[in-house]
Homo-oligomer: A and B are copies of this chain.
């Protein structure tokens, strides 16, 4: 795990507090807390906890455009970083690459596509909610099974998993 990656810090912030996710944490996550000046590929990779290989791959398939410095090296400006933060979070929540490509293509087309983008986001929200419900159920089932193992260490019936 990278030392300074965003997700880790946001999650750590959540450990401290309880109840609904506070706006500042989201803000920190969404805005990449005011990225100052251009970053190298290694810095962005560390920030997003992914490999430089993956960042080049994302650029290759058209998720971001990245400028080059005098030496031909990638130079990620604030906009590029913000975009990648968005990509990383959406990927983490299970959005497929093609949907992400679609969304970002729309974003590049300007404000006319806002309604369509909103639809995509609403759909994605529902997907996340469904995942949350399924995971909650899986967690309950796993804990149930743990309880049957941990509750008593006696013999079990044949065929048990």
Give A contacts to B, CB under 8 Å.
7, 10-11, 14, 21, 23, 25-26, 29-30, 79, 82-83, 86, 89-90, 92-93, 103-104, 107, 111, 114, 117-118, 121-122, 124-125, 128-129, 131-146, 149-150, 153, 155-156, 158-161
Task: Report A153 CB to chain B, min CB distance, Å.
Answer: 7
Most buried by B among A93, A142, A153: A142
User: By the criterion CB–CB under 8 Å, are B121 and A149 in contact?
Assistant: yes
User: By the criterion CB–CB under 8 Å, are B21 and A136 in contact?
Assistant: yes
Known: A93-B139, A138-B89. A118 touches B26 (CB 8 A): no
User: By the criterion CB–CB under 8 Å, are B83 and A161 in contact?
Assistant: yes
User: By the criterion CB–CB under 8 Å, are B82 and A141 in contact?
Assistant: no
Chain B residues with Cβ below 8 Å from A111 are 155-156
Distance between Cα atoms of A125 and B144 in the complex (Å): 11
